[in-house]
Amino acid sequence: MAAVIELPISTYESVVDPDWCPGCGDFGVLRALEIAAGKLGIQPKDLMVVSGIGCSSNLPGFIHTYGVHSLHGRAVAVASGIKLANHGLKVVITGGDGDGYGIGIGHFIHAMRRNLDLTYIVMNNQIYGLTTGQASPTTMKEMRTKSTPQGNLESPINPVALALVSGATYVSRGYSGENKHLADLIAGAIEHHGFSLVDVFSPCVTYNKVNTYEFFRKRVYKLEGEDGYDTANGEVALQRSFEWGDRIPIGVFYRDVQPTYDDSEPALHNGPLVQQQMGMSKELFDELMEEFM
């Protein structure tokens, strides 16, 4: 295996500065992604960042790589198509809890059960930030928000548990207030061959006054610091995923190596589709293009 040549963070600095609210947890996620990419020595031309809609989904514009700012809830679908067209790329999806666990939850589940080789970083602030403070799929029960002034009636989605039972082969959770730890989780996710989830507690300092930096600072603990914790044990991982209260786990819950969809698809055995010969003459190609235009 060739030695990895680490790259400086400046490799990924965009000409566009982030415009998130001062103190937003998404700044930490962006920096952690840059650190992780640099640590793995990924050239910008080999990294594709795909997002949906929301505050966090602006991230592809703030990093110097290929990027697609797609439709609400459709980031996983778009990223799946990109990965299958060119599975030589490292494809990272970035978005929020509303985008990924609300309108996009169907794509999320099916990508995991197929074990597509994708990394999904979800900035989970437990609120709709872009639309100014409504309850999201991960908002805690009884929490008062703009859309639930008497308290949220719905139970929140548990994204870690959902990922574990849906077939993801790398399931983790980070916290944007623990930047080095988060960068290591993201690097591990990108390096992992299979579907990787990095659910990130990324506080919204403007609209969520409950799940704050102070809230998480008092509660989060690292799974790797727990004696005997085994990331290969899915049953134990599932039990830990329901731990919420005075202690909330972050780190790698589960990791396994399974064949990916990309490995199993015969059409991809001869290399990325974008590099394969089309098997038709230029004349036929031009004729088909004329017909479609």
pTM: 0.94
pLDDT of residue 1: 54
pLDDT digits (tens, 9 = 90+) for 52-69: 999 999 999 999 999 999
- Tokens representing residue 68 in the block: 């697609």
- Tokens representing residue 288 in the block: 């088909």
pLDDT digits (tens, 9 = 90+) for 247-275: 999 999 999 999 999 899 998 888 888 88
Q: Which residues contact 22 (CB under 8 A, 6 or more apart)?
A: 205
Cβ atoms within 10 Å of 110's Cβ, excluding its own: 15
CA end-to-end distance (rounded Å), the chain: 46
pLDDT of residue 2: 64
CB 210 within 8 A of CB 277: no
- Tokens representing residue 7 in the block: 């790259």
pLDDT of residue 293: 85
Per-residue burial over 28-38, b if 16 or more Cβ lie within 10 Å, else e, is bbbbbbbbbbb
Mark out the alpha helices in 135-211 (DSSP H runs).
159-166, 179-191
CB 196 within 8 A of CB 122: no
CB 30 within 8 A of CB 62: yes
Cβ atoms within 10 Å of 291's Cβ, excluding its own: 7
What distance in Å separates the CA atoms of residue 8 and residue 82, rounded to the nearest whole number?
A: 26
Mark out the alpha helices in 44-171 (DSSP H runs).
75-85, 97-98, 105-114, 159-166
**Amino acid making up residue 145:** T
pLDDT, greater one: 269 or 93: 93
pLDDT of residue 171: 98
Q: Which residue has the tokens 């030695």?
A: 3
pLDDT band with cut points at 50, 70 and 90 for residue 3: confident
CB 112 within 8 A of CB 195: yes
Helix (H, G, I), strand (E, B) or coil at 211: coil
CB 53 within 8 A of CB 72: yes
pLDDT digits (tens, 9 = 90+) for 159-189: 999 999 999 999 999 999 999 999 999 999 9
In the chain, the domains with their CATH numbers are: 19-268 (3.40.50.970)
